[in-house]
Structure 1
């Protein structure tokens, strides 16, 4: 079975995860890429004496690079990977698939969750599934307001997070040192959503429609960039949305679940145990509630599954 470029880009955030994976081989204890929108800040180039000359950006849904000193030719992520892996064509694609645990063409087996079969680009063009964008309820601040103002979809939440609507209050919150004051400020100044569905009011019993999404909230992370990369490459779960929490030291990981196979709470318990065993991290237990409120912060580097941007 051939592994296509398109399938790899789909699984690796346009190829940015491949750049990160290669660079971590050379700089294991450093933040190797810092993304702002679709452009990365200058990064060390292992093929140019470790100088900060590597520029990476996303163009037409594919990560590309240039070197400010022209030490390597301009190219895309596959050209860069070829410099490291010393392979090309299908051999390179297979190496990337194995090294990054993309599982392209394989079935997944966590509560029956399966990956979409991916073969050639021609096959994908024919199959092009119709994407259903999950919907959730949107609530205006303060958090004591439990009546939603509207229903929005995941792409709209993504645009809110990467936009400037909550940039000022996010910055203010992260400069408040007192924990109680910070909690109070967040409760009164941030709008929020219920990722797991739409509601007539914020209460599990008032659920109108489950979105098929589960919110995993991980706090007090020492290396956010590293964990982001790991979650985006997770072997069992596709990432639907991933962003830094309002506090700045945690991540909100939004993943798909199939509630026809298990209850929301059962999925939450299983995923919490999985994260504990796989990543040695504890999950905020509030995620077990279907009506769990998730504050909307500003994060210019928020990730959304590329399938929603097509």
Structure 2
């Protein structure tokens, strides 16, 4: 472990990135993180204080944008490791595949080139389960790290971008990595304590349930963000992690209605609005015609997306919290921060 040099965490405004920063600081590392604008530094620091960061912790900020070359050499300079979780997320009228894929692929390559040129030891890439599970019909076994999304199938642009971006990262290491090591973490649905009002898409799942949203017949794996951060740190330093992918999932996958039942059972009166009603598939498909956010989930209706985190447990000694704890801690943080309607 090299704690004399800083660790670069890209995309410091992100949910996983902020929990990685907290884990690194608790472990005694110096941390440098990138933001697209220093105007968000105060917000990030406030979130990290919510997560327990002390005022004297060793954290610095640098401006760098995945869509431009500027700033990345300075960001990586002198760093021992890089945790790369930043990813461009198109919004508004950016619905073409190119709006997702090109920035994700080029962003990964910018970070990897900067890390290689700065003499970084290892990059840990935050990929996604979307690079593993998409485009497949019902599997007869749990997904594992040997699986890649089948892009010839019906694949949402987000999942396609994650798949191609991770592929590009591994290809870069093979062709021109120059000794730079790479590991990848592929989390399923990431729950756990929200740190502020700018929370992840996964947190919105629990927020919607707590506010009375009915359940589609969707199946998903779950993992606590604190365990995702822990897995990043293990993948960063463990000798066996170089050149490996690791699925981050706690236990077996769950149907949304079962997640709702956990909330009803564990959260008491606070979960009074939670509904365990399951919407018929035809109604979800009908709703997707006018709701772009639903289009990405319609191919997943009725599919069991179970996966295994056995590799991370076996190779790295990773021991994640239970699914139930991840669910309850998410809901509890939304209540504590006053983020529920």
TM over 0.5: same fold?
no
TM bracket, shorter-chain basis: under 0.3
TM-score normalised by length of structure 2: 0.23
TM-score, normalising length from structure 1? 0.24
Higher strand share: 1
Q: Which has the higher helix share?
A: 2
